[in-house]
Structure 1
């Protein structure tokens, strides 16, 4: 009787996971599809002026593969690049000037804002300085892009044309992250998959939607919208600054578009699991608003949705309970199918799809570690800086 009750509990739990997956498959904005790309565009008669702002802290290792791609942009209008050296100790600023001399192309200005004051993250303090320098040129658009992002020669042209044609105040692309090492293959496509599950791209930009986000590596922002939303001052404490920026713009009446990139790539390597672990855990608990109840709910949700299906299959087969194995297998099959498009987008082998529960378990551990580091006073640590929880974080709520 006790064994029957235990197996029945497995069946019911697996059924709950299957129902969750059917809901995700059909009702969560078709998050698993990867065909949300730059919207249809038409080239404007007069190309608006653009200033590109690149915050950079200790980026000498990736700058040679990224900065020249910005300087060589084939843009018909007036454009200029502002790289803000955020207290680098590896010669980032000098290297940027050297690259500009060797590559030509768009004009480059290198600035340095000094250490951020209390209440500011280093990146947003650098962005503020860069936008301040850009305002002297009175641009119509600002392209906020990270120092590890390489752009195709027509990237700026495509972004501006899409923004003008669609009437968007923000056009953001999720850069294609580097996937070369074994751990990058396991973790990186899942990172984008989970992000899309949380913020379905199809819902962003629709009238009346509450779902809004941006991807910080590539954000084209209308300068007037930035002033109206008080960017970056209104989000100066945000660790997850891209989502906070999109929310601030939407709250001020702006329109936001987000999709996957075809020709915008991150060149930053994450060869070891430890590198990817730091990348995820530094902001995971901030995403949960530093709330223990949300953390507990997230852990329980990850376990139900991603871990229960394979466990139900194993337990069902071991106990001779066909129902548990079949229901768990059905949930696992739906999960696997939703992951396949993202693996194809990243040009990865399909055998990784059924291993998504293993990757989800890693993300569960990273999320818990993010909370542990936060309560130890080491949360949101990045490149020598640690950001404590602010007293109030309205822009991330």
Structure 2
């Protein structure tokens, strides 16, 4: 009897720990649901605006490094913009080895449309990331045309024919210095279905779109695939020089513009799509891990907090259900199930936006576990001196977004 009492007491303590962990997780999810800017909603889209009587001149800047595989799908969509004002495209060939620059010229000859200029800045000097060095060169070429707006867009982004005019109308009508759309990423393979919608969901959780466009709000973010930037605001915020080391350059740009007094807007895109495939888990792993630790300011304490937070918020609910059922604790299983239900429910709108089956919603804890491992791997690679590696370049110790902002 005496030996049975410690066993029973130990089991009771274990069930109690599971129950209280589930209670904390449920409380966290209720707070996220009600107090985190309704991050889970997907109806923040480019607002319809009255078109201006006189359309301002726009220059499109496209940094491109080894993009021959995706350029035939993306570049013709830019050249085919039906923008009523003066517009032209500047593609900056950032040291490509696959003929990106010549392919761009051939596509322009074949498709016509907006004028295209192909430039090359050479290798970036110390203290610059390759993309931002290319953007700097493109903006320098564009300034000779005296544009009112710059559209910074990636080489893997395809735009609907009216994309540019809608962006300009929204910026003019709303008085925004930055109007950015998060392109709809490709979702075809199994791993893309599991990882990609969650990537946008986690981003919106960190940077609720409704807060970004609100006057006086501190939250600032943009999506680098599609950023319409007022040229005057770029000069005022010293873009891109002031963020030249930022690996997460889109968020750094938005913070620099907001810090200099500008207004920004970010939402989900209806007709701006990424054509870059990420068919294998390794492709997605590299995409996330190259910048995850930079997002945490390269801080071991923030990394520890992130790991604990992901475990508590995303992994405790299903663990509580399983452990509660195994231990015969209905309260632990019920509370864990409630937290899991809220989690899955907040994920449903993003799955609908990506036109994915809703049975993926309960699998969000599995995807969160993958992101946890990717984040830890990002920190490991950083401390091994490999830093953020992308397309043959490695930035051993890039500045974090927070440091740039």
Shorter-chain TM-score range: over 0.9
Decide which of 345, 349, 363 is 2:357's aligned counterpart: 349
CA contact (8 A) 1:190 1:359 kept: yes
Per-residue CA distance 1:289-314 (angstroms, 9 max, x = gap): 00000000000000000000000000
The structure 2 residue matched to 1:386, chosen from 373, 390, 394, is: 394
TM-score computed with the length of structure 1 as normaliser: 0.99
Q: How far apart, CA to CA, are the structure 1 residues paired with 2:97 and 2:208?
A: 38
Aligned residue number for residue 348 of structure 2: 340
Q: Distance in 2 between matches of 1:50 and 1:227?
A: 15
User: Given that residues 298 and 400 in structure 2 are in contact (C-alpha distance below 8 angstroms), is that contact kept between their aligned partners in structure 1?
Assistant: no
Q: Which segment is superposed worse, 36-45 or 79-88? A: 36-45
Q: CA deviation at 1:389?
A: 1.7
CA distance in 2, matches of 1:307, 1:321: 18
- Partner of 1:203, secondary structure, is helix
Q: String of CA shifts for 1:34-83, please: whole Å, max 9, x gaps.
A: 00001231100000000000000000000000000000000000000000
Q: How does 1:126-137 map to 2 (within 5 A)?
A: 126-137=134-145
Q: Which residue of 2 aligns with 1:76?
A: 84
1:393/1:359 Cα in 2 relative to 1: closer, same or farther (>3 Å)?
A: closer
Question: What does the per-residue CA deviation read over 1:7-40, in whole Å, with 9 as the maximum and x for residues that have no partner?
Answer: 0000000000000000000000000000000123
Residue 96 of structure 1 corresponds to 104
In the TM superposition, residue 393 of structure 1 has moved relative to its aligned partner by 6.5
User: What TM-score results when the alignment is normalised by the length of structure 2?
Assistant: 0.97
Distance 1:181 1:222, change over 3 A: same
Counterpart CA distance in 1 for 2:50 and 2:399 is: 45
Q: Which residue of structure 1 aligns with residue 30 of structure 2?
A: 22
> Does structure 1 retain, via aligned residues, the 8 Å contact 2:39–2:204?
yes
Which residue is 1:256 aligned to?
A: 264
Give the distance between the partners of 2:294 and 2:398, measured in 1 at CA: 10
1:1-397 equivalence runs, <5 A? 1-390=9-398, 395-396=403-404
In 2, Cα distance between equivalents of 1:389 and 1:226: 26
The CA distance in 2 between the partners of 1:151 and 1:258, in whole Å, is 17
Deviations 1:204-229 (A, max 9, x none): 02111111100000000000000000
Residue 169 of structure 1: CA displacement? 0.2
What stretches of structure 1 move > 6 A for 4+ residues in a row? none
8 Å contact from structure 1 (residues 310, 329) kept in 2: yes
1:394 and 1:215 map into 2 onto residues whose CA distance is 16
- Write the distance in 2 (CA, Å) between the matches of 1:335 and 1:198: 15
Q: Secondary structure at the match of 1:262?
A: strand
SS at match of 2:355: coil
Residues 31, 320 of structure 1: alpha-carbon distance in 2 compared, 3 angstrom cutoff: same
Structure with the greater alpha carbon radius of gyration: 2
Matched pairs, number? 397
Structure 2 residue runs of 5 or longer lacking an equivalent are 1-8
Q: CA RMSD in A?
A: 0.9
Q: Distance in 2 between matches of 1:266 and 1:320?
A: 48
* Deviation at residue 396 of structure 1 after TM alignment: 3.9
Q: Distance in 2 between matches of 1:62 and 1:147?
A: 7
Mapped partners of 2:94, 2:399: distance in 1: 25
CA contact (8 A) 1:247 1:395 kept: no
Aligned-residue offset at 1:388: 2.1
Q: Is the 8 A contact 2:387 2:398 kept in 1?
A: no
CA distance, structure 2, for counterparts of residue 392 and residue 240 of structure 1: 7
